Chains A and B, each alone.
Chain A
Amino acid sequence: MTSVILFCALAWSLLGGFGALRGRTPDARPLVYGASFIVAAIASGAAILQLAFGATSGTAVVLPLGLPHLGMNFQMTGLSAAFLIITDVGAATASLYAVGYGRGEPEAWRVLPFFPLFIAAMNMVLIAADAYDFLIFWELMSLSSWALVVAHHEDEEARASGVVYLVMASSGTLALLLAFGLLAGVHGQYDFASIRAAHPGSWVGAVVMLLALFGAGSKAGLVPLHIWLPRAHPAAPSHVSALMSGVMTKVAVYAFVLIVFDFLGKPAWWWGLIVLIMGGITAVLGVLYALMEHDLKRLLAYHTVENIGIIFIGLGLALAFRAERLDVCAALALAAAVFHAFNHSLFKNLLFLGSGAVLARTGERDMERLGGLLRRMPQTGLLFLIGSVAISGLPPLNGFASEWMLFQAILLSPRLSAWSLKLAVPSVGAMLALAAALSAACFVKVFGITFLGRPRSPAASAATETDAFSRAGMIGLAALCVVVGLAPGMVIDLFAPVTRSLLGARLPAGHGMSWLTVVPVSLSRSSYNPLSIFALIAAGAGFAAVILHRYGSRIICRAPPWGCGYTSPEDATAASPSLSTQYSASGFAQPIRRVFGSFVFNARDQVTMPMPGDVAPAHLISALIDPVWQCCYAPLLVLVGWAADRMNRLQFLTIRRYLTIVFITLVVLLVWVAPWG
């Protein structure tokens, strides 16, 4: 099955080449995206087959390229197969969507060469079986996605995002490079089999863990390394945003799991603590950022930060349990993390594709200028609603299933013996609960402001339903959200090889009807049967609807609402003040901004009211300060600027001075070598 993925990657690369050569012809776009969809479907099928029926690890393939004596090693393990499913399901739906969406894309030839290359690079990272290939394709993934971010390079903001993205991606790759260098040891054994066999010392292991946390965390978007993510993800075309947010962040999660769980052996107790705390902070800060944001795509990108936090909470728990040899508990936490990664890839792709449909039909990303789209784009609206329910963690959809499993793992924390963990895990659990609740509030805002109410701009009132291919892509994702939500046991069983190969343990299989009921630990402790919950919800909602329509609908009468004195409520023009009297996104977020924003973001609302009798408009200005930027990056920028000013003098030396510097460096190095040899 490894070779199937290799052939698929080759096919994508050829498609990229085709896109580069023939990108300007009108037929190229549907051809590239359509073929990319077919290849992704084949690849995800291969990964599912490998995971369901294959051995734990696929056959190793060695190509006679790359470094001498090393070659290019590829192997599909259980872990990589799980993440290949995430990647290729996302790639298939995004490609299908793009067949329709790309029609309205200006300058499609800037996207066509890099889109298949990006997918190919992610696939190759997942099946790479030596450090050299891993880093090469990791960098290819970063660079091709960078090219996609700056596809709209006329936009000043997109260019700035590109720079920030490039800097963060390079420093992350540097950290991973150092981590693999330490793992390879003094003999430079870069293939994963030798890295697995060699167990590094405790200090080396700790440094590698921290480097992996930095390298993978900067790609995944862990706070405080997330700053590029909400800038770069929305700047790309929407189907690329979906891939970057839904899929590429998962490749980063894969890198972390691979290094820390597969290569490093037994963790120290404090590793889990660090990852847990970073995950908790990321989850809460991510959703708070999202609540303050009114740009639809940027809001979704902040929710990616939040969900990465949730996934890292699971990984941190798994590390903590593993350090104390509670392998079954660790398996539960890790399974919950991987399952949530899969779920997040489904609903985040769905939401980004939905926002792309809205953007394509209205030209607006600012929620304050949308509204009333459910009447104009009913199918997109319904699909977006499914995604919103799933990301909010409401039963019976998939987001609930994985977050519920994560809470079950948190409830096992009394089994831990370290006191700091005993104290930290429940508080991280509280942060997780807070993040889940706030994200539900956030999606009430998103859906309510964007799809309900009346349109807030002429563009929104003129919107029409999106095309069939776009809808097909979204319908596929929404159907998967529902199916996975109703039968989570099926997916958990499918992903069981991950925990079995990494931890030697798996969840207790269900009792006879495993795919209907999830039993994380034991039946007496807790179980979750989504079908019965779904039946309950359906019955309750149906009953309420029947009651309402039977007894309530007759006394409804339509009347114009009170419009604050404005008399033309149906006048849908931008100039009409009546449209801005609707509930706005910032109005919805204001209570939360007051509670959390005042101390996290130092948020200040400034209201200027005209004097009584004056007809001038009132103004509300709310100012936010990004704490992460303020604490971490602003001082760093000052430091870099200072150092650059000092180093600038090096550029204006005489030739003899340069020679002297070279000479002194050489002598110092020799002096260094002399006593250490």
Chain B
Amino acid sequence: MMVTLVNSIFGPNGALSLAHALSGALVLVSFMMLYQDRLSAVINVLALHSAVLGLAVAWQAWIQAEPQLYITAVIALGFKAMIIPLALHRIVRRLNIHREVEAAVGIGLTMLAGMGLVALSLVVMLHTAAHSAVLAREDVALALATILLGMLMMIARRNAVSQIAGFMSLENGLILAAAGAEGMPLVVEISVTFSIVIAFIVIGVFLFRIRERFDTIDSTALDAFRGELQ
């Protein structure tokens, strides 16, 4: 019923168009994350990122009539849009680093690189999946762009918390790709999600540890500890 409603509003392929729009929104939020220069803002954008993902996955569940995808959406909304950002905020407050700005690469350069990555993922998908439907192909291209932007976020920042945010958005891109592909088993998504939670816990503990030792969570301090700083 809802699909026909959407179709009547947006045209004959409206259901898919909305999915497409949500994927595009995810990429847009990834770009937002790239130009944030405050840690608390980065975490808020991460929450937004996960919320958009939750909506996108829920919409996929609706149009594919795959109820188990709702579980993925709930996990995304519950865990990644609420619990993890709240926990990260708490860490930032406790470490008293909420005003820190630590971009290793300039914001403008990062944005330019991000645009190049989106173009690259569109070109790759155009060539490798030339025979498949246009919308499905571009959905995968957008997911790939989200993954690449997440990686870019990880290398463009020095601060470990922003690196976690980049890693989480990378993982959101993976889940978007998995939800778009029909027939991806739920087990895979659940295991990916759990691995993220474990990674979060480990990294959280790790952050407090390095803070205790080095009075900073700049990951270059670790290199100095190795005695290998160049």
Contacts and interface: CB of A to CB of B under 8 A. Distances in A.
Interface of A: 652, 654-656, 659-660, 662-663, 666-667, 670-671, 673-677
B128 A677 contact: yes
Given A656-B104, A677-B128, A670 B155 contact: no
B124 A656 contact: no
B120 A670 contact: yes
A674 B155 contact: no
Given A654-B219, A654-B223, A673 B127 contact: yes
Interface stretch (B33-41, B53-61, B68-76, B146-154): B146-154
Nearest to B122: A674
Interface string B132-165: 0000000000000000100110110010000000
A673 B158 contact: no
Given A659-B151, A666-B148, A666-B151, A673 B219 contact: no
B220 A654 contact: yes
Most buried by A among B154, B158, B222: B154
Given A659-B155, A660-B155, A673-B124, 6 more contacts: A659-B154, A667-B117, A670-B120, A670-B121, A677-B128, A677-B130
Contacts of B219: 654-656
9 contacts: A652-B228, A655-B223, A663-B154, A666-B148, A666-B151, A674-B127, A677-B124, A677-B127, A677-B130
B190 interface: no
A652 B223 CA distance: 9
Contacts of A677: 124, 127-128, 130
Nearest to B154: A659
Interface residues of B, number: 23
Contacts of B152: 663
Nearest to A671: B120
Contacts of A673: 124, 127-128
A593 to B, nearest CB: 54
B230 interface: yes
Nearest to B121: A670
Contact of B123 (A656, A660, A674): A674
Contacts of B124: 670, 673-674, 677
A663 B127 contact: no
A671 B116 CA distance: 11
Contacts of A674: 120, 123-124, 126-128
Contacts of A652: 226, 228, 230
A656 B120 contact: no
* Dominant secondary structure of chain A at its interface with chain B: helix
A662 B130 CA distance: 27
Contacts of A667: 117, 120, 148
A675 B127 contact: yes
A660 B155 CA distance: 6
B225 to A, nearest CB: 12
Contacts of A670: 120-121, 124
A656 B155 CA distance: 6
Contacts of B220: 654, 656
Interface string B194-230: 0000000000000000000000000110110010101
Nearest to A651: B228
Nearest 4 Cβ contacts at the A-B interface: A677-B127, A677-B128, A652-B228, A674-B124
A677 B128 CA distance: 5
Contacts of A662: 151
Contacts of A654: 219-220, 222-223
Nearest to B152: A663
A218 to B, nearest CB: 38
A670 B121 CA distance: 8
Contacts of A655: 219, 222-223
Nearest to A675: B127
A496 B117 CA distance: 64
A667 B119 CA distance: 12
A420 B124 CA distance: 50
A659 B155 CA distance: 6
Most buried by A among B104, B124, B126, B130: B124
A667 B130 CA distance: 20
Contacts of B127: 673-677
A663 B114 CA distance: 12
Nearest to B130: A677
B199 to A, nearest CB: 14
Nearest to B127: A677
Contacts of A663: 148, 151-152, 154-155
B102 to A, nearest CB: 11
Contacts of A671: 120
Contacts of B104: 656
A549 to B, nearest CB: 85
Contacts of B226: 652
Nearest to A662: B151
Nearest to B158: A656
A477 B42 CA distance: 80
Contacts of A676: 127
A673 B123 CA distance: 10
Contacts of B158: 656
A663 B148 CA distance: 8
Most buried by A among B154, B155, B158: B155
A659 B152 CA distance: 9
A151 B179 CA distance: 56
A71 to B, nearest CB: 26
Nearest to B224: A654
A674 B124 CA distance: 4
A671 B123 CA distance: 9
Contacts of A656: 104, 155, 158, 219-220
Interface string B79-122: 00000000000000000000000001000000000000100110
A551 to B, nearest CB: 90
A664 to B, nearest CB: 9
A666 B173 CA distance: 15
Contacts of B155: 656, 659-660, 663
A671 B223 CA distance: 32
Contacts of B117: 667
A463 B61 CA distance: 87
Nearest to A669: B124
B62 to A, nearest CB: 32
A455 B158 CA distance: 77
A657 to B, nearest CB: 9
A509 B128 CA distance: 60
A670 B124 CA distance: 7
A654 B154 CA distance: 13
B68 to A, nearest CB: 26
A663 B104 CA distance: 15
A277 B154 CA distance: 57
A654 B222 CA distance: 8
Most buried by B among A659, A673, A675: A659
A667 B127 CA distance: 15
A676 B155 CA distance: 28
A91 B120 CA distance: 60
